[in-house]
């Protein structure tokens, strides 16, 4: 009788950590975006470069916050 709730809990636990891993992968992607923007801004110099760099950093910080959120609240 008690096996069913336990197995459900295990499944939710596995899904939770899969979600955390996927959110962490987005954080890794956001770091790659920072590198991409930096790399391309060196090749093509425009007025919006500082804005793009700032946006890419903000995106990465938000992603880091979401990793923390997903660990704590999911």
How many angstroms separate the CA atoms of 33 and 36, rounded? 5
**Least distance (Å) between residue 42 CB and another protein:** 6
Q: Is 53 in the site for another protein (CB under 8 A)?
A: no
Token representation of residue 17: 């950590």
Whether residue 39 contacts residue 12, with contact meaning beta carbons closer than 8 Å, is answered with no
C-beta of 3 vs 39, nearer to another protein: 39
Residue 1's SS3 state is: coil
Q: Is 58 in the site for another protein (CB under 8 A)?
A: no
Q: Is 60 in the site for another protein (CB under 8 A)?
A: no
Q: Is 33 in the site for another protein (CB under 8 A)?
A: yes
């Amino acid at each position: 009788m008690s096996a069913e709730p336990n197995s459900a809990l295990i499944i939710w636990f596995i899904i939770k950590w899969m979600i955390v891993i996927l959110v962490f992968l987005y954080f890794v992607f956001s770091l790659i975006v920072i590198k991409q923007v930096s790399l391309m801004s060196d090749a093509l110099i425009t007025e919006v470069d500082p804005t793009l760099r700032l946006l890419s950093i903000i995106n990465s910080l938000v992603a880091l916050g979401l990793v923390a959120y997903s660990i704590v609240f999911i």
